[in-house]
Each structure stands twice: as structure tokens, then as C-alpha cells.
Amino acid sequence: MQETTPLIEFDAVEKVYGEGEAAVHALDGVDLKIQAGEFVAIMGPSGSGKSTAMNMIGCLDTPTAGHYRFAGIDVGALSRDQRALLRRNYLGFVFQGFNLLSRTSALENVELPLIYRGMPTKQRRLLAMRALQRVGLAQRENHTPSQLSGGQQQRVAIARAIVSDPAVVVADEPTGNLDTKTSREIMDLLVSLNRDQGITVIMVTHEADMAAYAGRIIRFVDGRIDPTVSQEAAQ
Amino acid sequence: MILEALRLAKQAIMRNALRAFLTVLGIVIGVGAVIAMVTIGNGATAKVKADLERLGSNLLFISPGQFGPGRASSEAKPFNIRDVEALRSQLTGVRAVAPIAQKQTTIIAGSENRSTLVRGVDNEYFTAQSWELESGRLFTEPELRSGRALCIVGATVRKQLFGGADPVGHGMRVNKIACDVIGQLVARGQSGFGSDQDDVVIVPLRMLQRRIAGNSDIPSIYVAATPDADTAAIQRDIEYLLRERRTGVGGKQDDFTVRDMKQIAETQTATTTVLTGLLAAVAGVSLLVGGIGIMNIMLVSVTERTREIGIRLAIGALANQVMAQFLVEAVTLSLFGGILGTAIGLGLAWVTTGALGVPFDIDLGIIAIAFLFSGMVGVIFGFFPAQRAARLDPIEALRRE
């Protein structure tokens, strides 16, 4: 990679919860660079800080100290609404629990990010249908989450994440609730999004065989990046 | 965005339709009460005004005794026919002076009987009351002088005793006295005081005095002034005249009362207004309680949908957009309550005004105010829950089950 501005850059990022004796250093001086187009897996045991790092990458959280820059923008200096705009325009989220709106059709779930952009209904429908096609669920647009299997729900969630054509998809344990076969299908989908559409994918997982799909693995231990494991994985 | 928020609000409300209905019940009752009361009140006021106009607005009512604390009107002696004659000869600007004596008694026609007010008058009564005959004729002078047993019946009496047929030419018994029916009055409906004006039998004054009451008393007198006359001046003239005849000038307290019917009507209208105001205040409290109900249920809704809010915030909803969503939901709820309340209130008013025989007039102003108020209740009481939703931390919200 050339010395361009990294898409994601942690500069001595600290995140402290609580105060005094009870203070917990969730992130304890993390330096990290992720270039556009990468597929990165973040691993680590519970409490290692990987979820905090994930929230920060997703612009949901801000550092207590240090700087987190997204495409060169210091996210810590932004207001709540400015971060919301950043998420709306550049980020897509995929969660372990799918986090779809219940009793709402797949199509409407996928349309959601576009609604907040104020896009007209017709265009919104079109883009949402295209995203559902992309994840192989074109025939299920009127099904509600309860009428879909876990794998299908996660596909809808991925469609929702990519419908706004984001720079980054942030996936938090996307296969955590799925069986092995379905997990592989979801991973294949993420890989193809990364490869064919150049979307940067950052995924938290604690399953090594899912992490193996990524181009790079970053392991967190006690709020820091473990230097011995952060490496280029064999593609 | 507003359309989108409305659609979302409809969705959220429909998912919990029963809960939404119970939530807005307070608003429904509040708005319904206001609309019903104001509509009925306006109808009653309009009725009083109409009655007044029909009576001829310049009507004075004279009764013996003084009304007020510690003074029993029954102690005062009634008027007699010479008082009436004096009034007739000495007052100016007067259309009619009508002596009235009346008694509740049993009337019988065929196999039907009924307890009815029998009123003894002379022909000036019909002038004073501007009351015309549906059919038949008035009394003649000789009939009045001799006190013949003749009747003019009201619409209710005709309906109850004669089955709605024209009673003129038929006979009936009034207090066991055989009477010929010579006329029937035009129907008037309920008076502003709530009594049925048509439940009446009119007989010559002298007949009532001699054969039913058994005396020659005149308990009350109506004086109708001409339309352009000054009723206050006539009232003073009557007072002066009667004072001279009854108690002597400069003597004791007057033992009679002269009242302007206009004042009575005005008092009644004022009472209606006060009552309407009081009920509006009660309704206001109901609206307040309804608003608190909405706030309560919106807080529950925000808690229940914390995760949904988290999702919306995570994918890029601005705080304002989340706020708008919940605010629109609260306003939709309260406006729904307002619409329902208006419908129920109008329905209630329609039934009640029908039963009271007063006009049913829809006041668009009060409906607009009711809408404005229920909308405001939604905004005011929806604000806090909506703000709470908008201020949620997306990370925390997503973690919630």
C-alpha cells in the first residue's frame, strides 16, 4: 500500500469507562491503520477491547484520549449529529443479532438508511430491491424478519448495510448466531462485496475459521493490539 | 420526512390499537365533554332567545309578595280584577294586560284522564303571549263575563286526551265540570325553564275563579308593552300604581314584584354560560389527565422500542429525526382522540338537544379550538418521551434486549 491517507486511523486511542479506582481502560493506547479496500478481522477474548474498537470505527463512540480519524476526519471532534451523518453516508452495519425492525418487511428494512437521506420513495424502492438482489433475496422482499431464517435475516441486514453504497461495512460477529453452513455463505457474501465492489469490510469475530476469510487479522488483548498476531493472513 | 413520520406513527399505533385507544380515552372524554356542553349550551341560549322573541321581548310579569330571603310570597294578598282594570286604564305604551289564575287539576275526555294545569285568562292573554290558535276561536265578551265552561286546549292535551284528532266541538271534563272545547293552541314545545308549555287548558278567568279555585283572586298579571316602549318606565309606573292601591305611598315594603322577562331570560342565559364554563374547566382537567396518559404510554413505547431507536440512530438517523418520529406519534394519538371526542360530543349533543327541544347548532370555532388543544396536548406531553428517545446512546440502545 502506498502512503495515502488511511481510511481508518487510530492514533494512541484510549477509551476509559468509569473513574478513579473503578476506571476500566477498554482501549489503552491503540495505533491502527486500515486502508480502503481491506478486509480486516478483529479478534480477541471478551473484554479485550475489540467491541469498543468496533464501536469507534463505526463512529458510534469517541476516544477518551488520542485521535480516531475516518478518512482523515477527526471523529472525536465531531458532534453527535455529525457522526450520525458520517454513519449515514459512509458506513454500513451488520450485527450479530441482525437488528432488523420486527413486523417490517425486508424491503422496508433495507430502505431505512435511505429514508433518513430523504430519498424519494421510487428511487429508494429501486435501490433497496437492487441490494436485496445483490444478497440473493429478491423474492423475499415482502417477508418480515419472523418469516425469514437466521441466514436470510442476516442477508437482509447486509443488504441494509450496503444499500447506501458505503465505504465501509462494519460487521460485529456477523456469524455468531448462525450454523456453520450458513456462516460460510454469509462470509462468502462479505468477501464478494469486498472483492467485487471494493467495500472495506471490518469484522469482529472470535471464530478463527471465519477470521481466515479476512485479508488481515488484528488481535486485541487487554485493550491493546497483540503485535505477534497482527499479520497478513493467507488469502 | 413528515409523511414518512406519519406513516411510521400510523404503523406504531396500529400495532397496539387497543392500547392506543385506551391511551386517548382521556382526550376523547375531555374533548367530547367540551363539544357536547358548548353545543348544548349554545342551543339552550338560542332557545331562550327565541322564546323571548316569541313572547314579545317587552313582557313584564307581576306577582304578589317579594322574593328574597325571609319573605314568604304566600303571605301577600293576591291581586283582583280592579287592579287589572286600573292597570289597563292608566298605563300607556302597553299592548295587553293579562290577568292569570291557574290550578293543577284533573281533566277527563272519554276514557282518558290527566292532571294538567288549567289557566283562567281573558283574551288579552293570547295577545300578551303572542300565542295563536291552531283551530277554533277565542272567548267572546259575554262568555268571559259569565264565566262559561269553555276550553282552549294545548297541543299536549290534544295528543294525550284526543289522540291527536281535532278536539274542537268535543266535550271534556275539567275538575268534574263539563266543558266544550272551542279551540286549540299552536304547539310551543318546552319553555326555557324546561316545562311543557303545551300541557295546558285555557278557560275563562271567571270560570276558574268561581268553579275551580272558589275565589276571585288573580295571582299574577302579564303586561305586554308595545315594541318601542320603555319597559323600565312602564315597570316604574306599575310599581307606583300598585303601591298606591295596595300598601300606600311611603308605607311599608312593597308586597308585590314586577319583573322584566328579559331580565329573567338574561339571568338564565348567564347561568347557562357559567355552567358551560364550569364544565369546560372539568373537561380541561380531563384533557390534562389524557395528556399525562399519552406521556406515560409514549415513555413505555420508547422503552419498548429502545432497540429500534438504537438501530435507527446507528444507521444515521439524526436526533431531530428520531424526535420528530415520536412527537408525530404522540400528536397523531392525541389528534385521533380529539377527532373521536368531537364525534362523540356532537353525537351526545345531538341526542340531548333533541330531547330538550333546543336547536342543534354546530359551533365550528369550538371544534377548531378542541383540535388545537388536543394537538397541543400531544406536542406538550409527547415532547419529553420524544426527547428521551432522541438522546439515547446508540451503543446502549443496541445492547438492550
Average pLDDT over residues A97-106: 91
Which has more confidence, B59 or A60? A60
CA distance B141 to B146: 9
Parallel/antiparallel/unpaired status of strands B133-136 and B171-174:
unpaired
What lies within 8 Å, CB to CB, of B104 at 6+ separation is B115, B116, B117, B118
CB contact under 8 A, B314 and A160: no
The whole-number pLDDT of residue B311 equals 94
CB contact under 8 A, A115 and B311: no
CA distance B289 to B377: 10
Size of interface A-B (CB pairs under 8 A): 55
Out of B311, B321, B395, closest to residue A61 by CB: B395
The whole-number pLDDT of residue B262 equals 77
CB contact under 8 A, A103 and B15: yes
- CB-count exposure of residue B89 (10 Å: 0-12, 13-18, 19+): exposed
Residue B266 C-alpha cell reads as 338574561
Residue type, B42: N
Average pLDDT over residues A57-70: 94
Residue A49 C-alpha cell reads as 477491547
- The chain B residue lying nearest A160, using CA atoms, is B315
Chain A residues close to B398, C-beta within 8 Å:
95, 99
Residue type, B155: A
The whole-number pLDDT of residue A99 equals 92
The whole-number pLDDT of residue A234 equals 41
CB contact under 8 A, B395 and A60: yes
User: Quick one: DSSP state of residue A6?
Assistant: P
Q: Does B308 touch chain A (CB under 8 A)?
A: yes
CA distance B289 to B381: 10
Alpha-carbon gap: B394 to the closest alpha carbon of chain A (Å): 7
For chain A, positions 12-51, list CB contacts with chain B under 8 A.
none
Average pLDDT over residues A69-79: 94
Alpha-carbon gap: A235 to the closest alpha carbon of chain B (Å): 31
Q: Does A67 touch chain B (CB under 8 A)?
A: no
Alpha-carbon gap: B275 to the closest alpha carbon of chain A (Å): 49
For residue range A107-164, what is the model confidence (pLDDT) as tens digits?
999 999 999 998 999 999 999 999 999 999 989 999 999 999 999 999 999 999 999 9
The whole-number pLDDT of residue B153 equals 92
Chain A residues close to B395, C-beta within 8 Å:
55, 60-61
- CB-count exposure of residue A72 (10 Å: 0-12, 13-18, 19+): exposed
pLDDT at A214 over 70: yes
The whole-number pLDDT of residue A12 equals 94
Distances (CA, A) of B336 to B52, B298, B333, B373: 40, 15, 5, 12
Quickly list H helices, B16-140. 17-55, 81-90, 124-128
Alpha-carbon gap: A167 to the closest alpha carbon of chain B (Å): 14
Out of A80, A87, A104, closest to residue B315 by CB: A87
Q: Does B180 touch chain A (CB under 8 A)?
A: no
Chain B residues close to A100, C-beta within 8 Å:
311
Alpha-carbon gap: A116 to the closest alpha carbon of chain B (Å): 6
Task: Mark the ranges of chain B whose per-residue pLDDT is less than 50.
Answer: 72-73
Q: Does B25 touch chain A (CB under 8 A)?
A: no
CA distance A105 to B17: 20
Alpha-carbon gap: B311 to the closest alpha carbon of chain A (Å): 7
User: Quick one: DSSP state of residue B190?
Assistant: B
CATH 3.40.50.300: does it fit domain A8-232? yes
pLDDT at A3 over 90: no
Average pLDDT over residues A17-26: 88
Chain A residues close to B315, C-beta within 8 Å:
87-88, 92-93, 112-113, 116, 160
CB contact under 8 A, A80 and B308: no
Residues B380 and B324: beta-carbon distance below 8 Å: no
Residue type, B330: A
The whole-number pLDDT of residue A1 equals 46
